[in-house]
Chains A and B, each alone.
Chain A
Amino acid sequence: MIEQVPASIFLVDADFDAFAVAHRLGGGYAVNETEAEEGKEEFLDTFEWGLYWSGLALARRGRRYRLYAADGTVLGEGKGPGKKRPFRWDFADGPIRDGITAGADIRALCPKLQVSRVRRSFQLLNEDQKTVLRLWLDHAVVSGDNRGPVEQWQLHLAGIRGYDREYQAVRRLLGEDGLERLADGTHFLAPALTRAGITVESVGSKTVVVLERDISLRDGLRQVGLAVLGDIQRNLPGAIEDIDTEFLHDLRISLRRTRSLLTLFGKAFPEIPCSHFRSEFRWITQATNKVRDSDVYLLKEDEYRGMLPPSLHPGLAGFVRGMRAFRGREFRAMKKHLNSPRLARLLKDWRHFLENPPQPADAAAQDLRCRDFAAKAVRKRFKKVLLEGENLGPDSPDPMLHALRIEAKKLRYPLEFFHSLFPPEDVDLLVKHLKRLQNNLGDYNDLSVQQQMLGTFRSPVRVDDPRQALAIAAALGGLVTRLADRQRQVRGEFEATFADFAGDANRELVRRITRTAGDGQVAAGQDGER
């Protein structure tokens, strides 16, 4: 491996003179201006700023795209898709498509900011007229977020392999002038974004809530509920607009989390009525089921194709076409629900409930501390997982595995909701181990569901051509066989995965987590119970 070429960015004034650099270096150096380009660039990124966090930026002018590294160097450019929100797979094979793979796997690239930019490019030449350093002076005007346009001048230095002496000398020179240098590794868009008031958050589907240590149970649940409601509202417009599959996926995660929170709420304050919310959130979750199921099959298209011999690929293509048509129909139905006054009212009422929760009549319930409740919930649910899992043998029926999967989920929710009340390293480790178990159970369940659906050997929409129907049936038959093999393998891995999870190390972790959270009082009782 060769060393990376160094680069740095300085914030400079409007009157910065690039030519003066050569004079100040002396020794036969000269600065040559190579080109100046001017234009409006639209920067695209995923909803969660996946490219930004991967140290990239993707800009376009019309259909000409340019991929930048975090230091502003151009990694690739070329003609790209004309869509408003393209996906990675809409780009032709090449440096842009390869480059964005890490930051934009299955998410759409959405317009994030408009930058009017004048870029002047310079070269520092040595006495042989060889370029030994590249410099760009960027004047960028960023359309801000309610703050009006923001202007900025940046000087980029890009070293050239083998000419580190010149790079260091110029960097030193600019440092001596008192120019502000962005910390190495800072994204070149960062200062402009900050000044324009655009927040770059990588929130994912789960906002992490930091609760005060002694917060009451009522307030704790309230704050978690509001954060999850925020996740719902953030993902809802993207799901309605069908920007990419992950908006709906994340929306569903937030809906499930809300329902789990309602269960906890009901347990903590049984006298406060919230069954209406429970049934309404069940309704809206169910309204999204079919679209998500279709997305799962469509996202697996490449994987499925890899499982089948080429002779069965036309049948698979027929199935995928049918699935797309089915999804289109289901999406229209779902969209009506997502746009409905009923959902708007539900979210409004739920927010009102969370902001003004009724006081529990019982004085003891009013004094309940969130961390005691959290510790108890984790302990109880961990015990339940162990119990369900220990009852499972190699021949246990699928519903028993399904029951364990649900219990594992129930344990995951309080660990995430009340994350801030537990010792962070311990809880992260437990979640990591729990995820491994959940992945095994989840894979097993997904494979069951897929086999059931594909095992109908039919396209999800009607196919009149009998030859086409036969080709689809043959492809699905091939898939079911392969999925059944895979499922047996996953089932074979269950015993060891569960044994790892149920080991002494995790029992000790849970003891530590719950003891710290509950100040040891509840934990002592728990030890006696076991």
Chain B
Amino acid sequence: MKTVAIYSSKGGVGKTATAVNLAYAASVSGQRTLLCDMDSQGAASYYFRIKAKKRFNSEKLLDGDIARNIRGTDFVHLDLLPAHFSFRNLDLALNELSRKKRRQALARLFAPLAEDYDILILDCPPNLTLLSENIIEAADILVSPVIPTTLSLIALQQLLKLFSKLEADKDKIIAFFSMVERRKSMHLAIMDKYSRYSLFLKTSIPFQAEIEKMGILRQPVGATARQSPAARQYEKLWQEVMQRSERA
């Protein structure tokens, strides 16, 4: 099982849209995929019309009560571990664990699912906390969406710093430009300057109405229109992530 975390400490960069659409692209390619919605706002769960069980919460998650809460989406090979409002306390729950266990809690939690899934995608909340350290530990690949703006680049720098602090392998980090608007000269200038770094993937995701419409249609863009430009772009992005992860 390959664990792919979609992460950025900045909000509104398109993390959930990325997680949902990459998970869909993975499942369409025949990989048994589990999307784990770790953001207490539950946007990924919303997109798939899935509600968490009432008693499912972060303590249960850390107790290993995970398999029973997985739900099938409308799509073959794609399951989801729904978010719960109490996930906002996940950091507190992690903090209560002993120092030794704390950083690997998530990695240990997902290990038993390795036989059931080929791909595990984590849709992460925007923060830089103990949960982030857990995610870095658990992930084989960390995909960070970056809007071609200064603030978004700062978030990426913070991530790189955190990796240095934790002495984690920076090769795990993959960035791509998200919500790109080609009519904005700043977007073009930043992409021009930074895309030469190997950290960035070649594929970028444009700002498109059909991605925004996911909130109304409540399904991945590929499920609405497989051949749409956005769907094809996510498929391309997924292929590039997979190629890069094989190199890593």
Chain A interface (Cβ < 8 Å from any Cβ of B):
1-3, 5, 74, 76, 94-95, 123, 128-131, 160-163
Contacts and interface: CB of A to CB of B under 8 A. Distances in A.
A130 B116 contact: no
Interface of B: 30, 48-51, 67, 69-74, 76, 79, 112-113, 115-116, 218
A1 B30 contact: no
A160 B67 CA distance: 14
Nearest to B76: A74
A2 B70 contact: yes
A18 B74 CA distance: 18
Contacts of B115: 1
Given A1-B112, A76-B30, A162-B71, 19 more contacts: A1-B115, A1-B116, A2-B67, A2-B113, A3-B67, A74-B76, A95-B30, A129-B218, A130-B48, A130-B49, A130-B50, A160-B71, A161-B70, A161-B71, A161-B72, A161-B79, A162-B50, A162-B72, A163-B71
A76 B28 CA distance: 10
B49 A129 contact: yes
Contacts of A130: 48-50, 74
25 contacts: A1-B67, A1-B116, A2-B67, A2-B113, A2-B116, A3-B67, A5-B72, A74-B76, A94-B30, A95-B30, A128-B49, A128-B51, A129-B218, A130-B48, A130-B50, A131-B74, A160-B71, A160-B72, A161-B70, A161-B71, A161-B72, A162-B69, A162-B70, A162-B71, A163-B71
A130 B112 CA distance: 28
B222 to A, nearest CB: 16
Contacts of B69: 162
A459 B206 CA distance: 60
B221 to A, nearest CB: 17
A163 B48 CA distance: 14
Contacts of A94: 30
Contacts of A2: 67, 70, 113, 116
A95 B76 CA distance: 13
A117 B6 CA distance: 43
Q: Which 8 pairs of residues, A with B, have the shortest CB-CB distance?
A: A162-B71, A160-B72, A130-B49, A161-B72, A131-B74, A2-B67, A128-B49, A2-B116
Contacts of A160: 71-72
A161 B67 CA distance: 10
B74 A123 contact: yes
A330 B207 CA distance: 67
A130 B73 CA distance: 8
A2 B73 CA distance: 15
B72 A163 contact: yes
Contacts of B70: 2, 161-162
A161 B72 CA distance: 5
A130 B72 CA distance: 10
Nearest to A160: B72
Contacts of B67: 1-3
A126 to B, nearest CB: 8
Contacts of B218: 129
Nearest to B218: A129
A72 to B, nearest CB: 13
A123 B219 CA distance: 15
Contacts of A5: 72
Contacts of A123: 74
Contacts of A3: 67
Nearest to A133: B72
Nearest to A76: B30
A160 B71 CA distance: 7
A265 B101 CA distance: 74
A143 to B, nearest CB: 30
Contacts of B49: 128-130
A123 B75 CA distance: 11
Contacts of A162: 50, 69-72
B74 to A, nearest CB: 4
B1 to A, nearest CB: 12
A132 to B, nearest CB: 9
A164 to B, nearest CB: 11
B209 to A, nearest CB: 22
- Most B-side CB within 10 Å, residue of A2, A123, A128: A2
B202 to A, nearest CB: 25
Nearest to B67: A2
B61 to A, nearest CB: 15
A470 to B, nearest CB: 37
Contacts of A1: 67, 112, 115-116
- Most A-side CB within 10 Å, residue of B49, B112, B115: B49
A5 B74 CA distance: 14
A3 B68 CA distance: 8
Nearest to A130: B49
A76 B30 CA distance: 7
- Most B-side CB within 10 Å, residue of A3, A128, A162: A162
